[in-house]
Structure 1
Amino acid sequence: MPKPTSQPQAHKPRRKAPARSKRTLSTAARRVVSADSPLTPQQRRFVDEFAAGGFQNQTKAYEAAYRARGAAAISGASRLLNQANVAAAVQVLRDKLSAKLEVTAQRVLEEWVAMGFYDAADLVVTDENGVLRDITSPKDLRLLPERVRRCIVGWSWDRNSNFTLKLAAKTPNLELIGRYLGMFVERKELRLGDLDKKSDAELDAAIAQAAQEIAQAEGIPVEKVLAQLRAGGAGAGTTMH
Structure 2
Amino acid sequence: MNKVIDRRRSLDAQPDARRTTLFDYVTDLAGKTPTPGGGGAAAIAAGLGCAAGAMACAYSQRKKDQASGAAVVAAQTGATLSNAAARELDAADADAKAYLALQATWKKDFHGNKSEAQAKALAVPQSLVERCARHVAALDVFYPKCNPNILSDAKVGIHLLAGAARAAFATVLVNDPPANVRRDLETKLRAIAAVEARIWGERNSGASAGAPARGFEIILDARGVCAVAAAVAGAFLLGKRMRS
Q: So what's the TM-score if we normalise by structure 2?
A: 0.24
Q: Which entry has the higher C-alpha Rg, 1 or 2?
A: 1
Q: So what's the TM-score if we normalise by structure 1?
A: 0.24
- Report which of the two has the higher share of strand: 1
- Report which of the two has the higher share of helix: 2
